[in-house]
Amino acid sequence: MVRMSTRWILAVCFVTVPSQVFSQKPDRELKKKETELQRLRSDIQSFEKKIVATEAKERATIDHLDNLERQSNLIRSLITTLHGEEQSIAREIDSARGSIEGLELQLQSLKSHYAGYVRSVYKNGRVYDLELLFSARSVNQMLIRVEYLKRFSERRAEDLRSIQEKKTRLERENEELQVKLDSERQLIAEKAKEEATLRGKSSERRSLLRKVRKDKQTYQKELTRKSAAAQKIEELIAELIEKERVRKEREAEEERKRLIAARERAKTEKVQPTLPRTSNFVSSTNFHDQRGKLRWPVSRGSVQSKFGPQVHPILKTITQNSGIDITTPAGSDIYAVADAEVAVLSFIPGFGNVVILNHANGYRSVYAHLAEIGVVESQRLREGTVIGKSDDSISGSMLHFEIWHDRDKQNPESWLAKR
């Protein structure tokens, strides 16, 4: 009995108690997420009112298309946020279940060992303890056994407390797990509802596009909007160039001050000054060496509208195209043509969702008519990274693509690899 109990005491001493199941998120983070969700829901409702208003005035209108597209963007953002919350809760649920299983095993082990102790006491009573004491071969051994029995008794009382504490904790964590499961079900239901709403909006937009394409006046208005969109792209490019100029000047000044400080320190400490730091943007290849070799931004498609002056097929008017329009099925992946940094994410009437990428050596690429955007500003990309999906437009399913070198528009076809 003594040997078995001693082993049991050592086993219990090595039982570890798991940390808290649920990492409590800071209040500020929870409030920030809730505020973001509320903002998205509020913006979606705002565009819903605009849609109802424009729909009441005129069903087949470009403004109505814009409102539908912007609302769809917001719904996609809401779905993405809800998906992130769902994944976070799912991880917490998995962690909680693992911890609960560990607690249940510990509780079962404690109960099993304690039950064995109770059966032994019931069978042998306290007589066994007296026999253990009187069988001691010396006073010193008897004192050791007295201390052992005292600690063994204290251990039993501590086991009882531990059983009760683990039982209480298990009940509490099971309750918290149920709350998390309820939250997960609510998020999944809300996400499914928003996804159904998005499908409805997409269907409505496709239907409206079919009607709009039959109206000649719509094409004239769309040409005006595209001219304004091209002007907006120029303005965005100019802003990026100015930001780059300011950044380089600031970095050059910081580097100058750092070198002066390094020289002064070198004079005092007699050490070698450190070398100048490299640029903050690193690319595996130089963009200007890729002329005629750039990958295409779509897997399949053909150039529908070329760079430069173009005759409209219906209105027969001449317009200037700042890039090329590549026909590709709606929903196709759109790729970064080279290593880049995401500079601009925007919605421009006439071009829809737009992404502008910064490349090395002052080059930039523009991608317009995107249905979905899968990147964020300042994100570093490698060539071939999917940046979004193509969309349908009044002129058909296409991607509008531009290449700029500083303020100079480039003919993308002279840069893309031959097919």
Given this model, what pLDDT does residue 118 score? 57
**Sequence ranges of the domains in the chain:** 2-212, 226-270+295-414
Q: How many CB atoms are closer than 10 A to CB 92?
A: 19
Given this model, what pLDDT does residue 110 score? 65
Q: What is the mean pLDDT of residues 326-346?
A: 94
For 265-294, the pLDDT digits (tens) are: 877 765 555 544 444 454 556 898 899 999
Given this model, what pLDDT does residue 22 score? 40
Q: Give the CA distances from residue 377 to residues 293, 343, 382, in Å, rounded to whole numbers and listed in that order.
A: 26, 6, 14
What is the rounded end-to-end Cα distance, in angstroms, of the chain? Answer: 85
- For residue 354, give the 3-state DSSP assignment: strand
Given this model, what pLDDT does residue 217 score? 65
Given this model, what pLDDT does residue 127 score? 46
How many whole angstroms separate alpha carbon 195 and alpha carbon 391? 17
User: Does the pLDDT at position 298 exceed 90?
Assistant: yes
The amino acid at 54: T
Q: Which of 6-10, 184-188, 385-389, 407-411 is the least confident region? A: 6-10
Q: How many CB atoms are closer than 10 A to CB 346?
A: 15
Q: What is the mean pLDDT of residues 359-381?
A: 92
User: Does the pLDDT at position 17 exceed 60?
Assistant: no
Question: Using 50, 70 and 90 to split pLDDT, how confident is the model at 182?
Answer: confident
Given this model, what pLDDT does residue 7 score? 38
Question: Which CATH superfamily does the domain covering 226-270+295-414 fall into?
Answer: Glucose Permease (Domain IIA) (2.70.70.10)
Given this model, what pLDDT does residue 329 score? 92
Q: Is the pTM of this model over 0.95?
A: no
| Residue 137 CA neighbour count, 13 Å, CB half | 0
Domain spanning 2-212: CATH 3.30.360? no
User: What is the average pLDDT value for the chain, to the nearest integer?
Assistant: 75
Residue the block writes with tokens 């409030």: 31
Q: Which of 166-170, 250-254, 326-330, 393-397 is the least confident region? A: 166-170
The answer to whether the 2-212 and 226-270+295-414 domains have the same CATH topology is: no
For residue 360, the 8-state DSSP code is: G
